[in-house]
Amino acid sequence: MEDTPKLPIIGITLGDYNGIGPEVVMKTLQDSRICKLFTPVLYGSHKVLARYRKLLNIEQFSYQIIQPDQPFTDKKINLIACWDDSHEPVPGQVTQQAGIAARIALQTSTEDLKNNRIDAIVTAPINKYNIQSEDFPYPGHTEYYAEAFQTDNYLMLMIAEELRIGTVTGHVPLSQVSPILTRDKVIGKIDVLLQSLQKDFAIRKPRIAVLGLNPHAGENGLLGEEDSTIIMPAVETFRDKGALVFGPYPADGFFGKHQYRQFDAVLAMYHDQGLIPFKMLAFEYGVNFTAGLPIVRTSPDHGTAYDIAGKGIADESSFRAAIFEAINILKNRALTSLERKTSQTPNKELEAIMQEEDSKPESLQ
């Protein structure tokens, strides 16, 4: 009898507990069928979950509290209580305590990722203001995980069913985009996007569209030089290698004519250039994935939504999609790794045979 395949262990942080994070997490996990796909490990607090369970009248939600050295239980919701319960959640309010708790959950889950205790992490939204401290000087999750796992070349990649959009620059003011945009930076982001499409999404020969920075992609220098002096040479670097990388495209016409459907991914130059069309097309089920990391990290594509926190009307579709996407990426990475090992095995065997033949006396060859 064959062993039952091991379920992936997915860590889940509650984010800012005064936002909609706890609600979308609980709504997603209250369906008992989902625990047949993975083992959920929550990083949060019993008091927060109990408060929202009562407030939102969520009855079908149970979990067990796990100690730091205790193994997780399959097909059950596991809770690691990683901060004290002295503070009461206040839905819709920005508090320092909620920011501290969000940071502690991230740091605790990161240690478990590094120790291979969990296989991937799905993060609920944080408030980039109240989480700031000496221990968290980052503009967002993406930059935090890049430093935690010592990754220089990474990419914020928004993904949905028929759309993937990455951005060359991330959480920086618009006034700083042009000064920090270089040919090497664009090349680096295209490279990590290509590798991610192959490894994380199992696309053997991906097609990538690169957007221009300026209106009309610079209009041959009339509206800016960056498109012709920075972006075009970066694209040509990959075209010369046979990669299916095209552009730069004027962003407005590109989305207006639905050209994104002809590509496996799109690379935008700055945050809003990519995220505005993405959220218009896929806000309900979009997922934020940090490409280029050695670990798998996803999150929903929305924020804390304080205005509806605690009201029971938050849509959990994007959070559920983030979990499913994390599971799919784990599977694709395992498949890609297996294919590489399989393709390398015959060559190693052949080399061993040849070495054995070369070592024989001439009379025996």
CB 312 within 8 A of CB 57: yes
Q: The whole model's pTM is what?
A: 0.88
Q: Which two tokens stand for residue 83?
A: 């901060």
Identify the domain containing residue 141 by its residue range: 1-151+293-360
- The reply to whether 22 and 125 lie within a common domain is yes
Structural domain ending residue among the three candidates 292, 323, 344 = 292
Q: DSSP string of 38-65? A: -EEEEEE-HHHHHHHHHHTT--S---EE
- The reply to whether 125 and 175 lie within a common domain is no
- The reply to whether 297 and 331 lie within a common domain is yes
- The reply to whether 275 and 147 lie within a common domain is no
- The reply to whether 223 and 314 lie within a common domain is no
pLDDT of 365: 41
Domain count, the chain: 2
Structural domain ending residue among the three candidates 261, 292, 323 = 292
Determine, yes or no, domain membership for 365: no
Q: Which residues pair with 267 in a beta bridge?
A: 166, 210
Structural domain ending residue among the three candidates 239, 257, 292 = 292
pLDDT in 10s for each residue of the chain, 365 residues:
445 678 999 999 999 999 999 999 999 999 888 989 999 999 999 999 999 999 999 988 899 999 877 899 998 999 999 988 777 899 999 999 999 999 999 999 999 999 999 999 999 999 999 999 888 999 889 999 999 999 999 999 999 987 999 999 988 899 999 999 999 999 999 999 999 999 999 999 999 999 999 988 867 777 779 999 999 999 999 999 999 999 999 999 999 999 999 999 999 999 999 999 999 999 889 999 999 999 999 999 999 999 999 999 999 999 999 999 999 999 999 988 777 666 554 555 545 544 554 554 443 34
H or E segment and range at residue 100: helix 96-114
- The reply to whether 10 and 142 lie within a common domain is yes
H or E segment and range at residue 352: helix 317-359
- The reply to whether 96 and 206 lie within a common domain is no
Determine, yes or no, domain membership for 262: yes
**Residue 108, domain CATH:** 3.40.718.10
Question: What are the two backbone dihedrals, phi and then psi, of residue 91, each rounded to the nearest 5 degrees?
Answer: -55, 130
How far apart CA 106 and CA 333 sit, in angstroms, is: 23
- The reply to whether 67 and 81 lie within a common domain is yes
Nearest Cα residue to 321 out of 19, 57, 39, 28: 28
- The reply to whether 146 and 46 lie within a common domain is yes
- The reply to whether 142 and 180 lie within a common domain is no
- The reply to whether 121 and 178 lie within a common domain is no
Q: Which residues contact 335 (CB under 8 A, 6 or more apart)?
A: 202
Laid out side by side, the sheet with 164-167 consists of 64-65, 78-81, 39-44, 9-13, 120-123, 296-300, 287-291, 155-159, 164-167, 265-268, 207-211, 244-249
- The reply to whether 288 and 317 lie within a common domain is no
- Is residue 92 left, alpha or beta, with left meaning phi > 0 and alpha meaning psi from -120 to 50? left
